[in-house]
């Protein structure tokens, strides 16, 4: 019976791990999309034959964004002045958000 052993060629500072017996890839640390949105993992499988053979597979991990940042504005408050009696839909002010 042939047994395979799995390993990662690069774990990206130990952010990923692979179970050497099952090949299941897991995260070992928290990922942040703002820091990095994609990882390319290379998994190697090696058999237990007399003359061991190995192969690799590429696994692309895309990190989905979670709304974890509170919106921030350029100013804490805004002041606007408009004339009395302006029609509905009249421009009042523009608040510019940073994120």
- Each of the 99 residues of the chain gets a pLDDT tens digit; together they read 788 999 999 878 889 999 999 999 999 999 988 899 999 999 999 998 889 999 999 999 999 987 777 777 787 888 888 888 888 888 888 776 665
- Say whether 94 sits in a helix, a strand or coil: coil
How far is the CA of 85 from the CAs of 6, 23, 78, in angstroms? 74, 70, 21
Token reading at 10: 């690069």
- Whole-prediction pTM value? 0.65
Domain spans, the chain: 4-62
Strand partners of residue 59:
41
Per-residue pLDDT, 65? 83
- Sheet holding 54-62: strands in order across? 4-8, 38-47, 54-62
- Domain 4-62 matching CATH 2.60.40.60: the answer reads yes
In the chain, the DSSP E strands lie at 4-8, 16-18, 25-27, 38-47, 54-62
Secondary structure letter of residue 65 according to DSSP:
P
């Amino acid at each position: 019976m042939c047994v395979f052993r799995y390993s990662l060629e690069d774990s990206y500072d130990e952010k990923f791990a692979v179970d050497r017996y099952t090949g299941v890839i897991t995260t070992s640390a928290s990922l942040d999309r703002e820091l990095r949105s994609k990882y390319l993992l290379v998994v190697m499988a090696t058999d237990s034959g007399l003359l061991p053979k190995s192969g690799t597979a590429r696994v692309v991990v895309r990190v989905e964004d979670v709304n974890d940042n509170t919106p921030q504005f350029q100013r804490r408050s805004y002041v606007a002045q408009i004339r009395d009696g302006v029609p509905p839909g009249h421009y009042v002010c523009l608040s510019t958000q940073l994120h």
